[in-house]
Amino acid sequence: MAKRPRPKVRILIGAATALGPGKVDLLEEIVRAGSISAAARAKGMSYRRAWVLVDSMNRAFRSDLVVTATGGRGGGGAVVTPLGRDVLARYREMEKKAADSVRREIDSFAGLLADPAREE
């Protein structure tokens, strides 16, 4: 069964994306994994890429969305802050509203797309 097309929400500040699907997915994975490195592995990206994304999100908001603890004997880790969790919830709500508002158009548009499973 082919995937259904869906709109993607991006929150821009000038040309920079403060928040988008990839950053939100990474934030959710940090919530689950408790570390940036584990979240990066789960998302199939390098630690450096994940760190750059976290840093860009933290810079885009008034306070950090993710805070880290230095590793060592007790272990390190990362925590999504209350603001980060609020941002996640608001983003997912905006995403749902956007999809709901264009559902008919998306369904109609889907009929114009080639089947990705179709052989060329």
Name the residue among 92, 24, 35, 21 with its Cα closest to residue 67: 35
pLDDT digits (tens, 9 = 90+) for 3-23: 677 888 898 888 888 899 999
Domains of the chain: 20-109 (1.10.10.10)
Reported residue count of the chain is: 120
Comparison of pLDDT for 24 and 103, the residue scoring more: 24
Task: Determine the average pLDDT of the residues in 54-69.
Answer: 94
